[in-house]
Structure 1
């Protein structure tokens, strides 16, 4: 709804009530997903945005604060499979700071409250471990109970699971500990442990985790402690709850005593003084983050003197004496450990950064795109560099910049390979445009002889948006390729009826009778496929889902489409025609007008001293100023232009190619890709073989024109709760709408779910109508 983004200052009381209700529902759902199910549905940054908006509304309308407000609770209620544990002292959450200004203001608030204008305030600055909070109760030095935070007051009894964590002492060392003490800290997984856990889970066909925090929480909540014992969990101690007697005068002293009693404490913690100390500690922790063996998502500042902590006390559910300074949610520093080449299904070679693992936006990032060789040279990326990476939403992580101050002395410039990394080591060639200009893209010249391209092509074919064949992932495809069983899509369907190979497969590579039955069933189920998925599955360059759907609707049957592609291959335009047709600013109408003029060259009165732009305007009045400028830039003078377009006019495509190019959402470039694809004998054979293995290629229904959303451009953003994003897209397109991935002035409607971010803001700024998922369903139903 548009009012969701309405500034808090502009809300009236009734709007505030509605907003608080919506925010309470959303935050409750996200708390359950995060704390109980270990499967968060939005990023920490988006969650913090919702929570901060709730606090801002409550600050403006204090009379609307309810007992069950998200601001009055911590985490979520305990899961029912564990017994309840009431904490002797509540485990509260921290307020957050996101900028230098907010960190400085935290110090100012502490000073104002303590009236300590003259005396500098000392703080501890401790890394904020991204794990699961736990409380350990010791009586006379013996561990008697362990619990999760739960809702802050009541947690879950996971004593037996916590006792399997190697860093947690069953009995305290040394002396001087209180008879009763609740030691608090964070259960976490290091990067190596997380990678090993996910690798083992994937090999066993089990669920993998998105990040170490989820993995740690899932491991600690196992019903069987024997399972928890197999997980490489770690523990850092940093606080305490209930005490039978004080044991320290400062936070810094307390950390030293916890370490002496046998706990691991974060070695990166430090004691600082004043606001400049806070800022310096943040910078140091940010720089150290890439080199740590575990995830941190910020720095926790705590007033060092415990008597001052006591005086400062709490506000609502957070302490006044501590705050969490968070790192930017979508950016992080890490180390560039290697640069590899990744070969796509069309032979395009993309450099990939292999990174030291770091969690960004709730996901562990180990790879990032480097785009191309020119980009590596421009940024002067070198193996060993500390780099800043960025990940926003579903965007592929990318390297933003190099931290030159931390470059190793022995780092050398990267030399881009000249040959494909495949076993053939075929040369890499720069791709050229139709006009002969080189692009930044380098391609392997081995084409389908290159095994990387074959495997990528097969992976694309079985992908969710193409043939969507269950049980055939990258691991299986690679194994079958190495056995020599799969070289083209038809081989997949041949395998399902090849009893000799299926017999050979039984008992090997983890395949039992059930696995083989399911694999065959998954393959056979896709012998009936819609035409648009068939076209998309072919993996033709520049032919995406939207173009595939347009082609399917235009040609209706697979036989007609194949015939059209083969005919277009025989009627491809020449190089000069293509150079003209792909010139930026020359659309179909302008191209037609230029070719028509070149063929007839009618007499037009043109002043002798006229500029080329003026001659074009008078001679070919149908082309606009942008097209004229493109022609002037390319050809420079009238004689060169006339000679080139006269030549291009003799290289025009045939009628079948023109029909292909004029299909909605296709165009000359995509038509050329289809024609080139069908111009290759091995591609024609591949399509023929595939079609022979299928039972039916279904026609695609034409879009409706009589619905409430027909002809409109729709954008879906945020988390959809009643259907998947693919289902929503299919539903909208079936009703005659166009679905876009970005919001612009051409967008007619935005459907926003919980966690909607920048797209919702853009829509609001542009005045575009925004509705909820429920309102969308009501709209399309009526």
Structure 2
């Protein structure tokens, strides 16, 4: 659905779905070296999330992908803190977005349209980001990006990569953190996969995953044998900046002994930037390594500092990604996946096809409308066009009707649930199974959701399936309660049903699972409410409920009171529930329906005997003088643009508003103020001039 047409309730649900989905894909990409969707599809998810947030700024989630960089590092490696956050780069997918990028910069800096700006352009290497800290010219540690604040310590592995000097050349800053990309060229990638196949080991799907997997090894000799390479392109902490431009800094890195990309060049306008992109797009296959676009950066370091950064990316840089490639294959089957809430999602299975070294076998079809609606008529046996941008699962973009078999027939969507064979009903543009937890597929997905919400380590989806489908009463886990009774049931079981005697479960690994389960017997209220899997109650809604009621006892009593009186218009508890920010009628009814269900009541009674729910703590982001305040600006600011000023106060925990109201806490006055000044005076709102405001924020401002 187009963002301009969605309602607020739909937007909330969509942002919740996108936050979970993007986090799931990020974990696979950064920790498992796996890419289940294409770069293009992933970027499309982030773009949709951003568009919805721009239309509904009050709905931005605390766990929004727009605020997050990567994911937390693997527990296999020690963590290293980035003194300067290691950010991601915003993406552009069209020429128009590059022009908009330049306009935003000029607008932020209050430069005229004709103002001269220099940008560096460099190929975007498809590899693994690495930060290298040097002190007095010697390599101290190397770490991955991780979640932007903490990365994985891979110092020993970095030392065996020939392109990474252990000691720098010449005179360099006392402290220098160099950032760049570890990658593997095409020939070494193909040679590695040949060797892996010969010895019966895992075949890597693409050079990026091969580079990441090769670097993140406990055995350093494996890393050394993989012929990894490194391009330096940036920096973090530097005790003494040796240049005042991006290109100058890259040249300095070259003098210190690093390999830098010789194709990096300067551009002076949008047209030359686009020409550079076209050149790399046309000639990328002639390169010995994989690139998936180009990166533009403002050349002036002074302007970079003024532009500062958003929560997950710098304002002064953008990556223009190549559009996805396409391939032809044959559709063989359509599988139906049943999700946690009973929604049926069709998945296309087709003949394996290789695009730029990646094998692709399936793609989501979203719903039945995607198969047979909007002039589509997808049939088994059809020859289809799929596209990708560097990963595994593609998107079906076209059907070659001229190749269709005469014997083909239209696809008929199933009339019952493939898991429990119960009737299905229309749900939005798709279908939904109505059996709830009596449907095995939904029960399994709900169980998986609970484990993720409680963050119980050692219980991945495959292991959960083994427990779920077990016929032994001492092993089976059919509901979340069974997770917490597993250890006691095992103690009372016969040797035949002892997990420690089964393949994949040794005493040590089993003890780790029990410890992980027991560590989650105490949970805060917001996590508990989210874990229940109540429809429409995502992490943000659960957090809002928890912060309002504080304790589970108060929340439960309010729900029970709401259920007692059937006339909701006279029910104080129900009215109170609806008064909570972000809680509408749909969510409130979903909560009551969940608690009114007899099966859920029994489940909750049993679960509460196994766990302790802690009260929710109040949230604070620091001791900023503007924390929680609503601030409005009027007049022309001398020190910075209005956009930059709003960014400063947001970093200090305040909210920037455009108009004066009773909710306004402070009016900052620039030169030639407008009507806001009079309205603020009439309402008795606190006011200060720009100089007073600047004096205060200079003591608290942490924007780099």
TM-score by length of 1: 0.45
2:105 equivalent to 1:129: no
Within the alignment, does 1:159 sit opposite 2:155 as a pair? yes
Superposition pairs of residues 192-211 of structure 1, within 5 angstroms: 192-211=187-206
- How far off its partner does 1:397 sit? 12
Aligned counterparts of 1:296 and 1:302: Cα–Cα separation in 2: 17
Count of equivalent residues: 389
Please say if residues 127 and 182 of structure 2, whose CA atoms lie closer than 8 Å, have aligned partners that are also in contact: yes
Q: Which residue of 1 aligns with 2:413?
A: 714
Q: Which runs of 5+ in 2 are unaligned?
A: 328-352, 362-384, 444-704
| Cα deviation digits, residues 181-210 of structure 1 (max 9, x gap) | 110000001001111111111111011111
Q: How far did residue 712 of structure 1 move?
A: 8.2
Matched residue SS, 1:318: coil
Residues 209-288 of structure 1: pairs in structure 2 closer than 5 A: 209-288=204-283
CA contact (8 A) 2:12 2:59 kept: yes
Secondary structure (helix, strand or coil) at the match of 2:87 reads: coil
Provide the rounded CA distance (Å) in 2 between the counterparts of 1:159 and 1:240: 17
CA deviations over 1:640-699 (Å, ceiling 9, x no partner):
xxxxxxxxxxxxxxxxxxxxxxxxx799xxxxxxxxxxxxxxxxxxxxxxxxxxxxxxxx
Structure-1 residue corresponding to 2:146: 150
- 1:749–1:229 Cα change, 3 Å: farther
Residue 139 of structure 1 corresponds to 135
1:136, 1:774 → 2: CA distance?
Answer: 54
SS at structure 2 position matched to 1:714? coil
Structure 1 match to 2:517 = none
Distance 1:331 1:264, change over 3 A: farther
Question: Cα 1:363–1:184, aligned 2, differ >3 Å: closer, same or farther?
Answer: farther
Please give the secondary structure, in 1, of the residue aligned with 2:221: helix
Kindly indicate whether the alpha-carbon contact (under 8 Å) linking 1:132 and 1:188 is maintained by their aligned counterparts in 2: yes
Cα distance in structure 2, aligned partners of 1:258 and 1:67? 38
Deviation at 1:211, TM superposition (A): 0.5
- Is the radius of gyration larger for structure 1 or structure 2? 1
- Residue 771 of structure 1 deviates from its aligned partner by 4.7
- 1:380-429 Cα distance to aligned partner (Å, 9 max, x none): xxxxxxxxx9735867999xxxxxxxxxxxxxxxxxxxxxxxxxxxxxxx
Alpha-carbon distance, 1:58 to partner:
1.7
Deviation at residue 736 of structure 1 after TM alignment:
12
The whole-number CA distance in structure 2 between the counterparts of 1:207 and 1:111 is 49
Q: Tell me if structure 2 keeps the 8 A contact 1:113–1:312.
A: yes
CA distance in 2, matches of 1:101, 1:155: 34
CA distance in 1, matches of 2:133, 2:439: 53
Contact 2:88 2:312 in 1 (8 A): yes
Whole-angstrom CA distance in 2 between matches of 1:319 and 1:56: 18
CA contact (8 A) 1:715 1:749 kept: no
Do the aligned partners of residues 715 and 62 (structure 1) sit closer, same or farther apart at CA in structure 2, a change above 3 Å counting? farther
Which residue of structure 2 aligns with residue 376 of structure 1?
none
Give the drift of 1:11. 2.8
Name the residue aligned to 1:68.
63
3-state SS of paired residue (2:232): strand
Distance 1:20 1:249, change over 3 A: same
Q: CA deviation at 1:230?
A: 1.2
Deviation at 1:329, TM superposition (A): 2.2
Partner of 1:184: 179
Aligned equivalent of 2:115:
119
Q: 2:322 aligns with which of 302, 308, 327?
A: 327
- Pair 1:284–1:776, CA change in 2 (3 A): farther
Alignment equivalent of 1:769, drawn from 430, 438, 454: 430
Please say if residues 94 and 320 of structure 2, whose CA atoms lie closer than 8 Å, have aligned partners that are also in contact: yes
Q: Deviations over 1:526-581 (max 9, x none)?
A: xxxxxxxxxxxxxxxx9x9xxxxxxxxxxxxxxxxxxxxxxxxxxxxxxxxxxxxx
User: Residues 14 and 666 of structure 1: is their aligned pair in 2 closer, same or farther, counting only changes over 3 Å?
Assistant: closer
CA contact (8 A) 1:295 1:358 kept: no
How far 1:116 moved relative to its partner?
A: 2.7
Q: Could you tell me whether the CA contact under 8 Å between 1:211 and 1:364 is conserved in 2?
A: no
- In 2, distance between residues paired with 1:396 and 1:44? 11
Distance change (3 Å), C-alpha of 1:196 and 1:712 = closer
Q: Is the CA contact (8 Å cut-off) linking 1:290 and 1:358 kept in structure 2?
A: no
- For 1:173 and 1:218, the matched residues in 2 are separated by 30
In the TM superposition, what is the alpha-carbon distance from 1:315 to its structure 2 partner?
2.2
Instruction: After TM superposition, list the pairs within 5 Å mapping 1:721-736 onto structure 2.
Output: 731=418
Is residue 715–residue 750 contact of structure 1 (8 Å, CA) maintained in 2? Answer: no
Q: Check 1:322–1:780 CA distance in 2 against 1; reply closer, same or farther (3 A cut).
A: closer
1:589-738 equivalences in 2 (<5 Å)? 713-714=412-413, 731=418
Q: CA RMSD in A?
A: 3.9
- What is the CA-CA distance between 1:97 and the residue it aligns to? 0.4
Asked if the contact 2:3/2:51 (under 8 Å) is kept, the reply is yes
Q: Which secondary structure state, in structure 1, belongs to the residue aligned with residue 151 of structure 2?
A: strand
**1:21 pairs with 1, 11, 16, which one?**
16
Deviation at 1:243, TM superposition (A): 0.8
SS in 1 for 2:272: helix
Distance 1:364 1:306 in 2: 42
Residue 24 to residue 736, structure 1, CA distance change in 2 (3 Å): closer
Residue 781 of structure 1: how far off its partner (Å): 8.8
Find the counterpart in structure 2 of residue 36 from structure 1.
31
Query: Matched residue of 1:302: which SS?
Result: strand
| Equivalent-residue separation in structure 1 for 2:4 and 2:13 (angstroms) | 15
SS in 2 for 1:323: strand
Aligned partner of 1:506 in structure 2 is none
- C-alpha separation between the residues in 2 aligned to 1:323 and 1:749? 45
What SS does the aligned partner of 1:319 have? coil
| Cα pair distance change 1:96/1:395, threshold 3 Å | closer
Distance verdict in 2 for CA 1:109–1:712, change over 3 Å = closer
Structure 1's 770 and 251: CA in aligned 2 closer, same or farther, altered over 3 A? Answer: farther
Within 5 Å, give how 1:408-423 maps onto structure 2: none
2:169 aligned partner? 173
